[in-house]
C-alpha cells in the first residue's frame, strides 16, 4: 500500500528512516547507472515520483523493498540480493574464487596480528598492559 502526498499524479511511499549504512543506497545508484537506466524509468516501474527515487539514491531514506524489487526485475543484478538479505557491504564470493579470497583474508589477518604484536612489545612491561592472546 502506498501512502504519502501525491506528486505529479503519483503517490510516494512513506519514507523509511535513514539507513545505518548508506552503502546500500550507493550500490543501488551504481546498479542503476551501470545498467544505463534513468531515475525516471525506475520511478515509473515503482509507481512513484522521480524526486522520491532521487532522495533514496542520495541517502536521505533507506532503500525500500519496492525499489529493490523493481530494480531487480529490470537488471537481475546480484548486488541487490545482498541488500535485500541485509548483507549490506559484505562481499559475496563465487565458489570458484573462494580459495583465493580466503588467502587474501588470511594475509590481511596476519598483517594485523603482526602489527598488534609489534605494538604490544612496545608497551612498557609494568604488568598492567593487556596481553594479546593469538592462540585462537
**Domain boundaries of the chain, sorted by first residue:** 6-84
User: Do 133 and 117 touch, CB atoms closer than 8 A?
Assistant: no
To the question of pTM greater than 0.85 for the whole model, the response is no
User: Do 23 and 89 touch, CB atoms closer than 8 A?
Assistant: yes
User: Do 4 and 14 touch, CB atoms closer than 8 A?
Assistant: yes
Check residue 29 and give its pLDDT: 94
pLDDT band at 6 (very low <50, low <70, confident <90, very high): very low
pLDDT band at 70 (very low <50, low <70, confident <90, very high): very high
User: Do 78 and 72 touch, CB atoms closer than 8 A?
Assistant: no
pLDDT band at 56 (very low <50, low <70, confident <90, very high): very high
pLDDT band at 115 (very low <50, low <70, confident <90, very high): confident
Q: What angle do CA 61, 48, 27 make, to 5 degrees?
A: 45
Instruction: Give me the CATH topology for the region 6-84.
Output: 434 Repressor (Amino-terminal Domain) (1.10.260)
Distance CA 100, CA 80 (A): 24
Amino acid at each position: 500500500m502506498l501512502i504519502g502526498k501525491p506528486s505529479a499524479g503519483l503517490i510516494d511511499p512513506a519514507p523509511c528512516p535513514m539507513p545505518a549504512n548508506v552503502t546500500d543506497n550507493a550500490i543501488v545508484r551504481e546498479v542503476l547507472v551501470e545498467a544505463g537506466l534513468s531515475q525516471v524509468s525506475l520511478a515509473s516501474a515503482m509507481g512513484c515520483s522521480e524526486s522520491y527515487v532521487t532522495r533514496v539514491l542520495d541517502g536521505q531514506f533507506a532503500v525500500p523493498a519496492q525499489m529493490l524489487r523493481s530494480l531487480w526485475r529490470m537488471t537481475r543484478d546480484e548486488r541487490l540480493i545482498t541488500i535485500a538479505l541485509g548483507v549490506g557491504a559484505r562481499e559475496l564470493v563465487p565458489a570458484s574464487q573462494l580459495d583465493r579470497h580466503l588467502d587474501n583474508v588470511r594475509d590481511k589477518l596476519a598483517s594485523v596480528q603482526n602489527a598488534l604484536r609489534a605494538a604490544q612489545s612496545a608497551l612498557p612491561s609494568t604488568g598492567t598492559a593487556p596481553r594479546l592472546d593469538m592462540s585462537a
